[in-house]
Amino acid sequence: MDLFLNRVFDGLEQGITYGGIALALVLIFKATTLINFAQGELAMLGAFLVYVLSVEQGLGVWLAIPVAMLLSALLAAGVERTLIRPFDPADHLPLVIITLGLFLVINSAAGIIWQFNPRAFPGIFPSGNALRIGEATLTWNTVCMVGSVLAVLLLVELLLNKTKIGLAFRAVSSNLESSQLVGIRVGRTLQLGWAIAAAIGTFAATVFVARPILFLEPTAMLRVLIFASAAAALGGLDSLRGAIVGGLVVGLIQSLVVGYIEFIPNELSLTIALLVILGVLLVRPAGLFGTARVERV
């Protein structure tokens, strides 16, 4: 029981990270039906910005995080304007290649600037245990990670559902051509989506690498991106809440499988998670919370 609970708590920490990155992926997917493969690397870059601002420049970490979120949002807005907008939004393959290229560029650039050796990242949440059940401990770190990412989800939902710019964003997601016909400047709206996604990613990556057992390195988000994509698919690619739920499910499966099935090494846990997702998608092709698209002809 204690092992089980510990595994669950550990799975929550990983899962909420996947959920956070998946949230960023879903935000862009909703509007463009495009998976931004560079999302994880943008997030890693954001976490390095937090590191530079706090550890190297001496800014308080809770000041460094919003500044880094803003900087990565600006960077992503620039990327959207220069690398994405000039291309036909309906033609996905070139855009996928561009995001893959961006993935490599950011990864290499981070390697050149910060080298590939892992760095200890300052803890950002209070240490200690929030709850102890037998030998199992739920740390404040877990609680705060889950809570803060859920708060981000809530903010994004408020922005999309309660503001005029959010309505414009949902309109663009629903019908790009008609959005222009009501006077929405589609390019700028999508740019805002990229910026918000990057800020969310930076936050998720920061709380992830700030886990006591983890380090910051340019490869920190490689695996996370794959798990997050799986989480987004499981949740239903166009559902914000689905992204978080999908992330938690993937994190929990991964954590429990490694804990209980001994012949499966850690490296194979992804495969197990993907098998589960495959099963779910066979039954529900649109994912757990996704909307099945109906085309009227």
Partner 1 sequence: MSASTDVTEPRRLLEVHDIRAGYGPVRVLHGMDFHVDEGEVVVILGANGAGKTTTIRALCGMIETTGSVKLEGEELVGLDTADIVRKGVAHVPQGRGTFPELTIEENLSVGAFVRTDNEIRDDIEAWYEMFPVLGTRRKQQAGSLSGGEQQMLAVARALMSRPSVLFLDEPSLGLAPMLVADLFTKFGEINRERGTTMLVVEQNAQLALGIANRAYVLESGHIVNSGSADELRADDSIRKAYLGV
List residues near partner 1 by CB under 8 A: 164, 167-168, 170-171, 173-175, 177-186, 291, 294, 296
CB of 182 to partner 1, least distance (A): 5
DSSP string across 17-46: HHHHHHHHHHHHHHHHS---TTHHHHHHHH
Closest to partner 1 by CB, 129 vs 175, is: 175
- Give the count of beta carbons closer than 10 Å to the beta carbon of residue 265: 9
Evaluate whether 195 touches 278 at the Cβ level (below 8 Å): no
Evaluate whether 211 touches 13 at the Cβ level (below 8 Å): yes
Closest to partner 1 by CB, 92 vs 188, is: 188
- Give the count of beta carbons closer than 10 Å to the beta carbon of residue 175: 11
Burial class (CB in 10 A: 0-12, 13-18, 19+), 55: middle
Give the closest residue to 194 by CA, choosing from 51, 107, 40, 81: 81
Closest to partner 1 by CB, 135 vs 157, is: 157
CB of 293 to partner 1, least distance (A): 9
Alpha-helical segments (H) within the chain: 2-32, 39-51, 61-79, 92-114, 140-162, 164-174, 176-181, 186-209, 222-235, 240-260, 269-283
Closest to partner 1 by CB, 36 vs 239, is: 239
CB of 189 to partner 1, least distance (A): 10
| Measured distance CA(183)–CA(285) in Å, rounded | 34
Closest to partner 1 by CB, 42 vs 168, is: 168
CB of 56 to partner 1, least distance (A): 43
How many Cα neighbours within 13 Å face the side chain of 80?
Answer: 25
Closest to partner 1 by CB, 118 vs 166, is: 166
CB of 174 to partner 1, least distance (A): 4
Closest to partner 1 by CB, 132 vs 185, is: 185
CB of 81 to partner 1, least distance (A): 15
Give the closest residue to 149 by CA, choosing from 223, 64, 217, 245: 245
Instruction: Say what the alpha-carbon torsion angle 260, 261, 265, 266 is, to the nearest 10 degrees.
Output: -40
CB of 26 to partner 1, least distance (A): 14
